């Protein structure tokens, strides 16, 4: 009987997998994401883009285009359902996403609270009721879709595609996490704190998401975790100079990349223990 990890990775064989299909698929996704997706940034006046809500909507439009590119890639190039990037079952279990979201929300709250305790005055209250509730509505609707799309790409399409090259889960997770880090290197945090340190941060969160998906043999947990991470950042505790400025309740005066890296590692370990503590990976 197959392990959950092997069963999930073997879904790649349901489709057509010649190398040129992956090359064409990558180009299709990139064209929809970076080509069509960023057209509004050219059309919308620059002064409008300075508004956090407008900027947030523009970024999410590009993510919707990325999802459209992935859907076309799966349907026309690889000839298999988009669902097979999520689960080997007939239906997606969206309730399972909550099992990834809730413990990560608790961990994120503990990390932010500990940071304020260790570094008094780092966070300040930035809550504005009028702007917050308008922004929160957009975040709660769009962020789960944005997070699910990134998971479908990096923990679905990429993980399963890498399984055609190697069957070692650790190597697959590491390669996927490196690919996940690459587009984030355009964020402003990189120029401020250095490429090596920020790459380590992006790689670490990628490893947390990849190992959860591989160990569980499906994608819902990682989707829930990713969505909660982004919602918490957008609405509860963001930081000045973030790649995506939002109307959060609290704002840190700066990003502490070392604190972020250490807590990501510890949080990832704690999350694995909490989710998988009652059972080993079944075969």
pTM of the model: 0.93
Nearest to 276 by CA among 102, 100, 84, 85: 100
Nearest to 250 by CA among 234, 237, 266: 237
For residue 24, what are its two tokens? 């064409």
**The pLDDT of residue 282 is above 90:** no
Nearest to 205 by CA among 88, 107, 276: 107
pLDDT of residue 283: 39
Q: pLDDT tens, 199-235?
A: 999 999 999 999 999 999 999 999 999 999 999 999 9
**The pLDDT of residue 43 is above 90:** no
pLDDT of residue 1: 56
Rounded mean pLDDT of 104-123? 96
**The pLDDT of residue 279 is above 90:** no
Q: pLDDT tens, 81-104?
A: 999 999 999 999 999 999 999 999
pLDDT bin (cut points 50, 70, 90) of residue 2 is confident
Counting every residue written for the chain, the total comes to 283
Work out the percent of the chain whose per-residue pLDDT is above 70.
96
pLDDT of residue 242: 84
pLDDT of residue 109: 97
The residue extents of the domains of the chain are 93-276
For residue 2, what are its two tokens? 């197959």
Rounded mean pLDDT of 45-56? 75
Rounded mean pLDDT of 5-10? 96
The answer to whether the beta carbons of residues 39 and 31 sit under 8 Å apart is no
Higher-confidence residue: 21 or 58? Answer: 21
* Average pLDDT score over the chain: 92
């Amino acid at each position: 009987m197959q392990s959950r990890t092997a069963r999930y990775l073997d879904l790649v064989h349901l489709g057509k997998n010649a190398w040129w299909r992956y090359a064409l698929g990558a180009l299709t996704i990139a064209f929809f994401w970076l080509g069509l997706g960023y057209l509004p940034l050219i059309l919308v006046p620059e002064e409008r883009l300075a508004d956090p809500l407008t900027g947030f909507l523009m970024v999410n439009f590009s993510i919707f285009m990325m999802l459209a590119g992935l859907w076309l890639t799966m349907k026309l190039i690889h000839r298999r359902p988009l669902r097979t990037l999520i689960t080997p079952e007939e239906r997606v279990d969206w309730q399972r996403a909550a099992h990834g979201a809730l413990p990560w929300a608790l961990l994120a709250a503990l990390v932010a609270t500990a940071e304020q305790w260790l570094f008094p005055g780092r966070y300040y209250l930035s809550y504005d009721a009028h702007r917050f509730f308008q922004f929160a509505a957009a975040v709660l609707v769009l962020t789960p879709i944005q997070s699910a799309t990134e998971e479908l790409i990096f923990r679905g399409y990429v993980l399963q595609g890498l399984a055609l090259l190697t069957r070692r889960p650790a190597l697959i997770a590491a390669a996927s996490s490196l690919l996940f880090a690459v587009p984030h290197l355009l964020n402003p945090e990189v120029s401020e704190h250095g490429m090596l340190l920020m790459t380590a941060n992006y790689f670490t969160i990628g490893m947390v998401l990849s190992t959860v998906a591989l160990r569980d043999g499906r994608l819902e947990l990682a989707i829930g975790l990713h969505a909660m991470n982004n919602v918490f950042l957008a609405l509860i505790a963001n930081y000045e100079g973030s790649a995506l400025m939002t109307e959060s309740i609290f704002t840190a005066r700066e990003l502490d990349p070392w604190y972020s890296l250490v807590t990501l590692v510890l949080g990832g370990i704690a999350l694995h223990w909490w989710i998988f503590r009652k059972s080993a990976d079944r075969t």
